């Protein structure tokens, strides 16, 4: 029987990943078969945030651990400092995708016109990187408050910045996902929070490739009514990607007050079929993976 290179490497990497899990993370009742299927959930497709999971391991080992638990994808923050060629080869060999990466972060702000030339340059570079990584989406952040500038003015500048790169990402089939934050807990002083202004920005930009990174954790803290606002976002066709974490604590589902079984069912019933980023701090990775899987049961 012949075995192709990818099948061999995938099997070897998965086995190695499970072996690496055993010393510290294997529970007595968990078989290898059970562990490698935790992330294979029936409704939702989850992408493990490799910046927040397995943080004591080297980055590429975090990717291997993700695959070892059966998750279909990862998400990452900025590309700086990462070997993109090695990362691309590893994810392809493991048979997992990179759901999204951060193309433009908090500083310098996209809400400041003096940074717009750099925005264009950076997004062009992101398009090249996305093709190498076979990634379809890249997160962008509006920026922190600018003294002397109103929120309306800052949002108008974000619209201008996104309009300036809309044709670029459309031509490269890369979708930019703009992330509203919360300013009560994590990002005090940020200029964009809540679904309504994010929807407005996307509608003003008017591009099929500029959407919202709809982080349910941030939305819960900012405005609540997660299912109702999800319906509004889907109706306006502005949701480009979902992320989650429970609250309080920003840990995995099942550790806080959000009933994620109901929320994820709502997203599924509304037709959302893309990845859902696990941008949460796991209390412990195996237990967290099990809670994520349990949130997909309804």
For the stretch 162-194, pLDDT in tens is 999 999 999 999 999 999 999 999 999 999 999
pLDDT of residue 25: 43
Residue 95: helix, strand or coil by DSSP? coil
For the stretch 190-239, pLDDT in tens is 999 999 999 999 999 999 999 999 999 999 999 999 999 999 999 999 99
Which domain covers residue 25, as residue numbers?
A: 5-295
Least Cα distance to 125 among 64, 73, 84, 179 occurs for 84
How far, in Å, CA of 102 to CA of 81, rounded? 13
CATH number (domain holding residue 12): 3.20.20.150
Q: How far is CA 270 from CA 55, 209, 258, in A?
A: 34, 20, 19
211, containing H or E segment: strand 210-215
Q: Cα(first)–Cα(last) distance of the chain, in Å?
A: 41
**Confidence check: pLDDT of 149 > 90:** yes
Give the number of residues written for the chain.
298
Tokens of 230: 């999800």
Strand partners for 100 = 75
Do the beta carbons of residue 177 and residue 130 sit within 8 Å? no
pLDDT, averaged across the chain:
93
Number of domains into which the chain is organized:
1
For the stretch 244-298, pLDDT in tens is 999 999 999 999 999 999 999 999 999 999 999 999 999 999 999 999 999 999 9
How far, in Å, CA of 207 to CA of 204, rounded? 9
For the stretch 36-81, pLDDT in tens is 999 999 999 999 999 999 999 999 999 999 999 999 999 999 999 9
Do the beta carbons of residue 146 and residue 191 sit within 8 Å? yes
CA angle (272, 278, 283) in 5-degree steps: 145
Q: Position of tokens 């990402």?
A: 169
- This prediction has a pTM of 0.91
């Amino acid at each position: 029987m012949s075995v192709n290179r990818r099948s061999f490497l995938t099997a070897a990497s998965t086995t190695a990943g499970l072996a690496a899990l055993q010393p510290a993370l294997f529970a007595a009742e968990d078989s290898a078969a059970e562990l490698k299927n935790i992330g294979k959930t029936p409704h939702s497709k989850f992408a493990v945030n490799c910046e927040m999971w397995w943080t004591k391991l080297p980055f590429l080992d975090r990717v291997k651990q993700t695959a070892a638990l059966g998750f279909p994808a990862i998400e990452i923050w900025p590309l700086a400092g990462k070997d993109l060629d090695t990362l691309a080869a590893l994810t392809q060999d493991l048979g997992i995708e990179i759901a999204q990466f951060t193309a433009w972060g908090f500083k310098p702000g996209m809400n400041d016109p003096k940074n717009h030339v750099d925005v264009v340059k950076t997004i062009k570079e992101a398009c090249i990187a996305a093709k190498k990584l076979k990634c379809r989406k890249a997160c962008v952040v509006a920026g922190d408050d600018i003294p002397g500038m109103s929120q309306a003015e800052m949002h108008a500048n974000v619209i201008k910045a996104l309009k300036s790169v809309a044709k670029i990402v459309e031509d490269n089939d890369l979708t930019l996902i703009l992330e509203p934050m919360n300013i009560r807990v994590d990002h005090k002083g940020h200029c964009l929070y809540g679904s309504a202004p994010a929807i407005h920005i996307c509608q003003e930009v008017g591009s099929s490739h500029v959407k919202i990174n709809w982080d349910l954790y941030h939305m819960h803290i900012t405005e609540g009514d997660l299912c109702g606002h999800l319906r509004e976002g889907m109706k306006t066709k502005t949701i480009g990607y979902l992320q989650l974490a429970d609250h309080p604590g920003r840990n995995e589902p099942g550790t806080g007050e959000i009933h994620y079984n109901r929320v994820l069912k709502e997203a599924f019933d509304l037709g959302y079929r893309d990845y859902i980023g696990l941008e949460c701090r796991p209390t412990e990775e195996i237990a967290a993976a099990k809670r994520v899987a349990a949130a997909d049961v309804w």
